[in-house]
Amino acid sequence: MFSLKPTAFAVSITMLAGAPVLAADPSLDLVAPLADYKIYVAENTAQLVADTDAFVEAIKSGDLETAKALYAPTRTSYEKVEPIAELFSDLDVTIDARADDYEHAEADPNFTGFHRIEYALWVEDDTAAAVPFAERLMADVTDLDARINALTFPPDVVVAGAATLMEEVAATKISGEEDRYSGTDLWDFEANFAGAKKIYALLRPLITDDAAFIEKTDGNFDEVDEVLAKYREGEGFKHYEALTDDDRAFLSSRVNTLAEDLSMLPGKLGLS
Amino acid sequence: MSDPSRRMLYVAIAASGALAAAGFAAFAIATSRTADNTTDADRSVTVTAETCQPNAIEVPGGLRTFEIINTSDRPIEWEILDGVMVVAERENIAPGFRQTMKVRLTPGTYAMTCGLLSNPRGTLTVLPSEEAAAAAGNVTLRSFLGPLSEYRVYLSMQGAAAIKAAETLRDAIAAGDIDAARAAWQAARAPYRRIEPLAFRLSDLANTIDPQAAFLELREDDPAFTGFHRIEYALFDQNSLEGLQPVADRLVADLTTLRARLHEVDMTPDLLMALPADMSRMLAESRIPNGEDTYAATDAADLQASLDGVEKLTGLLTPLTDPVDAPLAADIRQATDKARAELDSDAPFDAEARARLAPVFAGLAETLGKLPATIGVD
């Protein structure tokens, strides 16, 4: 998501002051996990195209209930690849920007993508209003999938991506502002954590000299999973309003810690 | 497989050299000041409610510092974009605040975001400089990580495509549908040829997947005549599916093993640089003059796929070659374009075509052979 991240600044300062010992050079051992990560992303963008096709069909056929039911699950494959959204900033805007990014908010003619459709389905209560945005979304995710397949992923963007996304979750997602019309934020959270954890899990075997870091980070991901598990319902999650203040505060603290800790990955792997 | 004696040529890289942020690799260090402090930034940019001031900036390439001042009434982010990619960004600059950002920039034209998405973007022109040229000429292990990873992805994707197409071929043979089998045979060849630059080095598998009758003692009757050409012989020469099922089963199994073995190969910069020239040379010296698809006469299509595989490699190496030897990068483009143009010809793949194509691919091999010494990890 294209949005503002208050913690980015705090994390950067920590990196300067904390001065973790940096690995000297990147190792060729990074090649395999980087390749595996791209395959993970390509699988997700292929899934996104398939899921969006069904979502768009429901909108076009005027089936409001099915369209609403497909909104959150369709988004999850996009949310999983958000750690590297910097690589397609134009499509991140047209697919996933929020109303606040525009001068005229929901009324802005440039407001498109998932959240514009979400607005049509939940607030305007109107599939017909969503049709042009659904068609645009289909074209955009198809473009995204093709681009991902053709792209050589820059290693530094991938390795930094886990922290980048956690910072964004902390700054502009945990508050429930992303899926404000549908309340499906918990679906996004889970996908965001899964996407960031994928990068961490692929790189973890290369971190051989810091057991404390591994233990702490594993623990934080596990604790996040445990909290989210309490809100599972059917194939997905309860409405964001069900999240208690305590659990939100807990998630927030874990996300901030993860953002800070994962920001050390580039240094640990010689990519800072 | 025409030359089973070729051995694996993996050479570990000797030294990784000093770290330099290459390409658009960027790092940013943030500090924050209230609006009345000053900084030593190379450039100061003020973001108002509607635009960046100035909205067009020129800086020399290298490590540059920008100071971003937010005079609008919303929190903003400021980004430098290279096309659609974010090169560096400073997020959440509060109204009335300023932040500085350091970024290593290579020469070129970039865009700057200026607050709201609806605001017009500014232009950042990065001029050539000694500092930028020195950074670009310093090819490090780090600059190979992206290309090596991407080649692994390519091997995995094309390897999967070859298996899937071979399964279709196997199923068509099982169903007794010779026309479908012929179509499937050709579909399975292309992904195999694309990954052949590395696959042919796994000589045991290459000898069961792709042996040619001409290299076997008993030719078509030789029990070692297996794989693609054995199936081609049955489909296009014998016009028979008899006895083909186990051969097709074996092909699927061998391609599956191949994909797993390719996944285990330790990719190194030296290997990546050697592959395109070696493949082109093999085409020039053996495949093209001898002919390969004797029964189906699909050599031209096979060569197109081989060239796809070579171009994937040279495309991955271009970002490394261009800064250190732009003329060589141009020569490589020209030589591959020439090979492609010759293959696009509608002329039959006869002796005359072979005589015309062989030197074209030999020239390509010679040009590509300059890569290792030029990039300097020889």
Is the pLDDT at B357 greater than 90? The verdict is yes
pLDDT per residue as tens digits for the range B101-145: 888 888 999 999 988 888 889 999 999 998 888 777 677 888 899
Question: Which amino acid, residue B372?
Answer: P
Asked whether residue A245 is assigned to any structural domain, the reply reads yes
Render pLDDT for A43-70 as a digit per residue (tens, 0 to 9): 999 999 999 999 999 999 999 999 999 9
Residue A9 has pLDDT above 60, yes or no: no
Tell whether B148 is within 8 A of chain A (Cβ): yes
Question: b vs e for B222-246, b when ≥16 Cβ sit within 10 Å of the residue's Cβ?
Answer: eeebbbbbbbbbbbbeeeebeebee
CA B122-B40-B60 angle, to 5 degrees, is 50
Scan for tokens 């794989």, then name that residue. B227
Per-residue pLDDT tens over the stretch B179-196: 999 999 999 999 999 999
Nearest of A112, A89, A196, A234 to residue B82 by alpha carbon: A89
Tokens 């965001």 found at: A192
Cβ–Cβ contact A176 with B under 8 A: no
Q: Do B84 and A87 touch (CB under 8 A)?
A: yes
Residue A2 lies in a domain: no
Distance CA B115, CA B51 (A): 7
Domain topology for B141-375? A middle domain of Talin 1 (1.20.1420)
Phi, psi of B118 (to 5 degrees): -80, -10
Task: Provide the domain limits for residue A131.
Answer: 7-268
Q: Which two tokens stand for residue B288?
A: 């093209």
Residue of B331, B297, B301, B199 whose CA lies nearest to B256: B199
Residue A34 to residue B145, Cβ atoms within 8 A: yes
Residue B16 predicted with pLDDT over 90:
no
3-state secondary structure of B79: strand
Residue A261 forms part of a structural domain = yes
Burial zone of B61 (CB within 10 Å; 0-12 exposed, 13-18 middle, 19+ buried): buried
DSSP B15: -
Residue A172: give its domain's CATH number. 1.20.1420.20
B10 vs B273: CA distance, rounded Å: 11
The CA-CA-CA angle for residues B250, B313, B198, to 5°, reads 30
- The verdict on B27 touching A (C-beta cutoff 8 Å) is yes
Query: Which among B23, B141, B157 is the nearest to A25, CB-wise?
Result: B141
**Strands B43-47 and B62-70, bridge-based pairing:** parallel
For chain A, counts of helices (H) and of strands (E): 11, 2
Task: State in words which class domain B31-137 has.
Answer: mainly beta
Q: What is the signed CA dihedral for A90, A92, A93, A99, rounded to 10 degrees?
A: 180
Domain with CATH 2.60.40.420 in chain B: 31-137
Q: How many domains does chain A have?
A: 1
Write down the pLDDT at residue A24.
Answer: 53
Residue A1 placed within a domain? no
Report DSSP state, residue B350.
S
Within-domain flag for A217: yes
Among residues B30, B123, B113, which one has the least CA distance to residue B72?
Answer: B113
HSE-up (13 A, CA, CB side) for residue A94: 17
Residue B89: list chain A partners with CB under 8 A: 86
The phi and psi torsions of B133 (rounded to 5 degrees) equal -65, -40
Q: What is the mean pLDDT of residues A132-148?
A: 98
Question: Taking 70 as the threshold, does the pLDDT of residue B22 lie above it?
Answer: no
Question: Which regions of chain B carry the CATH code 1.20.1420.20?
Answer: 141-375
A92 neighbors A115 (Cβ within 8 angstroms): no
- Of A10, A264, A248, A25, nearest to A159 by C-alpha is A264
In chain A, which residues have their Cβ closer than 8 Å to the Cβ of B268? 28
- Tens digits of per-residue pLDDT, B23-43? 233 333 333 334 444 446 788
| Nearest neighbour of A90 by CB, restricted to B76, B84, B144 | B84
pLDDT at residue number A15? 36
CB contact under 8 A, A9 and B141: no
Alpha helix (H) residue ranges in B195-267: 196-199, 203-209, 227-232, 245-264
Closest residue in A to B75 (Cα–Cα): A4
pLDDT at residue number B26:
33
Question: Tokens 């800790």 appear where?
Answer: A261
H helix runs in A151-184, sequence order: 155-172
> E strand or H helix at B267, and its extent?
none
Average pLDDT over residues B230-237: 97
Q: Which range (A80-84, B158-162, B285-289) has the least confidence?
A: B285-289
Q: Between the CA of residue A263 and those of A12, A161, A196, A255, B132, what are the distances in Å?
A: 8, 9, 12, 12, 27
Distance, in angstroms, between B272 CA and closest chain A CA? 12
The Cα–Cα gap between A175 and A177 comes to: 6
The DSSP element (H or E) to which B69 belongs, if any, is strand B62-70
Q: Is A118 inside a domain boundary?
A: yes
Q: Say which amino acid occupies B78.
A: W
